[in-house]
Structure 1
């Protein structure tokens, strides 16, 4: 017969935020999912209070952003056969101890309880390790694979250290807002700070989907660098625009809001479903076509074409830190090969005298300048053209520019090509 615990010694149930955060991290670090969808799904199912949801979010993203330094701190205390579940729990606990304001004794207690109740790790090991672990001194560059840190140094020169440090900061919320959207958010107690490129930086008083601005179509989440891709087309009012590789239709919505007649093309029908829901929420319209852009597309050419090609996402490490744990140089080359095929498909869709904007949310030269330069060498009817003035900070990059990913802005390569 099992004896009840002595009075005053009953284990305290683990905080649900930590339980959720560790389980999401297990999925992400095993390669089963990306952080954003895994966390969103888990939070939606758990319906945690706002404070606990915030803690879970900090644990997931903070642990991934600081993964290299956390692992360096833990490695001397763990052997090579330590189970991945144990590693994940200790990484999260070490992040909370070293980077959040939680008292050390509380961190030890919480993660020992979580290890015991969820059977994720030996409680004695968790207790011993979290009591002893100390920060391993590293630079922001050390949080990246060496080849990727060198990529940022080559891309941004003297600004590279600031860029790599900025990737360790939490991602702010950027919203494209109407005047009514600003007013309703502020009336609800949210803080709206004017940003750049038509996006405002917002600190919400409640979850975004519960705000009146979002529900009534007065707010659209989008990074300023993504809006810079739209701005690179110039004035789109009254113009027919082809939005290639349009994904969930966010840029299509921004183009439609600016008065364009938009046709958005993507290979995944599921993304069109998300685009339709979002366009309906915003009271906007776009034509949606499902097509694999590695092959010819039978539509009438347009004077304005945007190809925001799928890429490795190296300019979005702040909001997608798991990328740096998975990406390899071979992955960059594979992405560049796909982008080259899609750019070739886009060429005949641009009418004579028209404009083709090519963009990727990556800063590797293979996916940006190299793809465009190879395209120009094989398509003499196109030339690189100057970009309209962009509000986001940017630096030259061959036939285009790179936005500088600091202060919550993503890193994009953007080139504007003119057909003769």
Structure 2
């Protein structure tokens, strides 16, 4: 007999397993698991269950351990099922009877009585989660004194940020969409909007882009017909910004699928850019250019609000591998700028090895970021770099974690 909602829970369990055991991203895990779930609503529920479980995993595990005589092994299936069940009750406000009906069948042939007993004990106690998720030990250690503020930001859904094609219409679009603006060319809306149905989408008046992600391209200013390379460009927010600012853009990325999204965004906005599909380690431009934006491949830990899988699958090995790649890419890009030209380096990572340590080894002339180029509430570091994290601008809804630096040749 089919149990309504069971396929969504089974898919969420499979996604959790793919992230924690195989190190896949939630997006990769969903690519395999979500096709088994029918209907947009159930697929959205599947993603929500998996995301909230990963976001609050340390606290969910603490609750489970408080209700068992002997701790369940970290990789035990009953622990994973209980995490999913508790996340639904405590974060998604699913009625306990519905959680039991769709959770215990995941343990067919296994210790259902144990899971039922632990779940019932915790719900009878009125178990609750803390106001702020507890970060895994290794993560909290890496993020240092900013860890508590970043953890607090994880409890809140990130807003929807839009970058406008014409910054001169900022006030107009803020009023038409019912949003707020934190700097020219930006509008922020509460989470939950159907993007394609918003006014101005079909006409290409704006595109979705986190406020922090919009800052690297802004740091090049107006293009005035000069040449710029947008390296590792897809899905294309920076390309659109640069084209709208009057740059002659060549956008390079290795992923054909992601470049298809860039082409679609260019068509929707009516902006123009040359597109190159290539591996940056094998490719080089025909001639030096006036500017480069290198938004390098990274661990993406700065996107932890949206992608809580990074809390569990990123560790020292992944950080070291990315840092090695970033150093090679930076060395190549630094050779391709004309005298007086600018290079902007950015990563959506909170790890020093991928940000500050990379910038410290670049031999070009520093071109420090200034406070006047940034939204109110953000400031450059003493070195003239920019470091953001999800705990910043918290009163306005926060932003992703980025590291950005700029140089001149």
TM score, norm. by length of structure 2: 0.83
Unaligned runs of 5+ in 2: 392-396
1:276 corresponds, among 263, 270, 274, to 263
Structure 1 pair 173–18 and aligned structure 2 pair: CA distance change class (3 A):
farther
Shift of 1:341: 0.4
Counterparts of 1:370-389 in structure 2, within 5 Å, are 370-376=357-363, 382-388=364-370, 389=373
Aligned to 1:413: 403
359-368 vs 275-284, greater mean Cα deviation: 275-284
Q: CA RMSD in A?
A: 3.3
Counterparts of 1:208-357 in structure 2, within 5 Å, are 208-211=195-198, 213-295=200-282, 297-357=284-344
Structure 1 pair 166–196 and aligned structure 2 pair: CA distance change class (3 A):
farther
Contact 1:94/1:130 (<8 A) preserved: yes
1:70 and 1:116 mapped to 2: Cα distance? 17
SS in 1 for 2:179: strand
Shift of 1:223: 0.5
Shift of 1:71: 1.6
Shift of 1:225: 0.5
Contact 1:199/1:222 (<8 A) preserved: no
Contact 2:133/2:154 (<8 A) preserved: no
Per-residue CA deviations over 1:336-395 (Å, capped at 9, x if unaligned) read: 11101000110121111100001111122211121121122xxxxx21112242116245
Structure 1 pair 22–201 and aligned structure 2 pair: CA distance change class (3 A):
farther
1:111 corresponds, among 99, 104, 124, to 99
Matched residue pairs, number? 392
Contact 2:55/2:133 (<8 A) preserved: no
Unaligned runs of 5+ in 1: 1-9, 377-381
1:232 and 1:47 mapped to 2: Cα distance? 42
Aligned to 1:60: 50
1:404 corresponds, among 379, 386, 389, to 389
Aligned to 2:25: 34
1:263 and 1:373 mapped to 2: Cα distance? 27
Aligned to 1:200: 187
SS in 2 for 1:306: strand
Contact 1:242/1:302 (<8 A) preserved: yes
Contact 2:225/2:248 (<8 A) preserved: yes
Structure 1 pair 149–287 and aligned structure 2 pair: CA distance change class (3 A):
same
1:352 and 1:82 mapped to 2: Cα distance? 56
Per-residue CA deviations over 1:285-314 (Å, capped at 9, x if unaligned) read: 211112222345133211111111111112
SS in 2 for 1:215: coil
Structure 1 pair 131–246 and aligned structure 2 pair: CA distance change class (3 A):
same
Structure 1 pair 333–29 and aligned structure 2 pair: CA distance change class (3 A):
closer
Aligned to 1:71: 61
Shift of 1:216: 3.2
Contact 2:34/2:43 (<8 A) preserved: no
Contact 1:394/1:404 (<8 A) preserved: no
Contact 2:299/2:314 (<8 A) preserved: yes
2:211 and 2:231 mapped to 1: Cα distance? 19
1:400 and 1:305 mapped to 2: Cα distance? 16
2:128 and 2:192 mapped to 1: Cα distance? 36
Contact 2:347/2:403 (<8 A) preserved: yes
TM score, norm. by length of structure 1: 0.81
Aligned to 1:96: 88
2:173 and 2:197 mapped to 1: Cα distance? 12
